[in-house]
Amino acid sequence: MFGQPRIEYKTNEQMRIMREAGLVLISALDAAVKAADVGVSTREIDAVFAGVLQEAGATSNFLGYHGYPATVCTSVNEEVVHGIPGDRVLQDGDIISIDGGAVVNGWHSDSARTVIVGTPDPEDQRLSDVTENAMWHGIAAAAKGRFVGDIGAAIDDYVSSVPGKRLGILEDYVGHGIGTQMHQAPDVLNYRTGHNGPKLKPGLCLAIEPMLVRGKILTRTLDDDWTVVTEDGSRSSQWEHSVAIHEKGIWVLTSPDGGASRLEPLGVTPVPVP
C-alpha cells in the first residue's frame, strides 16, 4: 500500500487505439495552429480545436478535467502551462503554446505545440526550437535508454549543450504516463536526477513534454487556479508528444510519420505498433 503508483502497460491493440486518438489530435492541433494569428482570440482557437474533435467523433480529455473549462490550454508569452482560452486577442510577436488531447474509445492522446504569431522575436524562435529539439532528444532516449530517467537526462544534456544563453527547464511541471487516463504513472522528468525511475519496456506509453523559459524557472499560479506564469515575466515554450514503446521499437502516436523524420537523424528508426 506504500509502493509506487501502478503503471498501466498496454497491449498492441490498445496502443493502436491510442494511435487513432493521436491521429485525431494531429488534425485538431493542425487546425488550431493554423487559426492562431494576429487578431484571433484564444477562445476562437479553442472552438476550432473542439470542432475537429466533434467532427471526428472523439472527445476532449481536457474539458471538465478537475473542472477545467475548455478543450485546449492556450498559454501566451509569460504563461507557461494551463492558460485558459478566453477574450485575449493575439498580437504580432506573441508566442503561444497550444496543448490539447483527444479520447477515442476510452484511450487518450496528449500533445502540445508552440506557435509564434506574426513576426517572431529571434530569441522566442530559439526558445521554441530548443524546446522542440529537446523533446525529440527525450523521445530518442525513450527508444535507446533503459530507464524513464534517461529521458530527462537526455533533455537536460541537450539543453545544456546549446550555445548561447542557457534556457531554464521547468521542474514543477513534468511529463507523464498516458492510457485509459490522461495523467498516469510514471512521472517523466525533463531534467537529470540521480533517480533512474521505472524500466522502459514494451507496453509503456508516455507523454514527453519539456517546458523551457527564457528567464528563471520560478512560477506562480494566477487567481483562476489554472494559469501558470513565470514570476519574472519571461517567455516560455512547451512541446509534447505521446509515445508508445512496444516489442518492435517505438512509435510517436501524435506525429504523422510516427516521428521518423525527427528521430532518424538521432539514430532511431520508429516502427508502427504491430
To the question of whether residue 209 is assigned a binding role by annotation, the answer is yes
More confident residue, 5 or 22: 22
Q: Do the domain assignments include residue 3?
A: no
190 Cβ partners below 8 Å, 6+ apart?
134, 138, 152, 155, 156, 169, 170, 171, 174, 175, 209, 210, 211
Q: Do the domain assignments include residue 6?
A: no
Q: Do the domain assignments include residue 54?
A: yes
Q: Give whole-number Cα distances, 98 to 84, 106, 155, 273, in Å.
A: 10, 23, 21, 27
Containing domain of residue 217, as a range? 12-266
Q: Which pLDDT does position 4 carry in this prediction? A: 66
Alpha-carbon span 63 to 219, nearest angstrom: 24
Bridge pairing between strands 79-81 and 205-208: unpaired
Helix, strand, coil shares of the chain, percent, nearest 5, are: 30, 25, 45
Q: Please report, for the domain that includes residue 220, its CATH number.
A: 3.90.230.10
Residue 270 pLDDT > 50:
yes
To the question of whether residue 94 is assigned a binding role by annotation, the answer is no
Residue 1 pLDDT > 50:
no
To the question of whether residue 240 is assigned a binding role by annotation, the answer is yes
Report, as an integer, the average pLDDT of 231-241. 98
CB 31 within 8 A of CB 9: no
Count of domains observed in the chain: 1
Residue 256 pLDDT > 60:
yes
Alpha-carbon span 94 to 192, nearest angstrom: 30
Q: Do the domain assignments include residue 146?
A: yes
To the question of whether residue 82 is assigned a binding role by annotation, the answer is yes
Alpha-carbon span 202 to 248, nearest angstrom: 8
CB 216 within 8 A of CB 232: yes
Which amino acid, residue 206? L
Which grid coordinates belong to 65? 478535467
Degrees (nearest 5) of the Cα angle 159, 160, 162? Answer: 70
To the question of whether residue 99 is assigned a binding role by annotation, the answer is yes
Which grid coordinates belong to 194? 540521480
Q: Do the domain assignments include residue 272?
A: no
The rounded mean pLDDT for the chain is 97
To the question of whether residue 176 is assigned a binding role by annotation, the answer is yes
Segment 38-88, tens digit of pLDDT: 999 999 999 999 999 999 999 999 999 999 999 999 999 999 999 999 999
Q: Do the domain assignments include residue 148?
A: yes
Which grid coordinates belong to 131? 524546446
Helix (H) / strand (E) element for 109: namely strand 107-116
Residue 2 pLDDT > 70:
no
CB 183 within 8 A of CB 231: no
Strand partners, 74: 98
3-class secondary structure per residue, 41-95: EHHHHHHHHHHHHHHHCCECCCCCHHHCCCCEEEEECCEEECCCCCCCECCCCCE
Q: Which pLDDT does position 136 carry in this prediction? A: 98
Q: Which pLDDT does position 5 carry in this prediction? A: 81
23 Cβ partners below 8 Å, 6+ apart?
none
User: How many percent of the chain have pLDDT more than 70?
Assistant: 99
CA-nearest of 142, 175, 132, 154 to 252 is: 142
Residue 3 pLDDT > 60:
no
Q: Do the domain assignments include residue 271?
A: no
Could you tell me the pLDDT band of residue 194, with boundaries at 50, 70 and 90? confident
CB 93 within 8 A of CB 42: no
Q: Do the domain assignments include residue 73?
A: yes
Alpha-carbon span 155 to 241, nearest angstrom: 14
Report, as an integer, the average pLDDT of 198-208. 98
Residue 147 pLDDT > 60:
yes
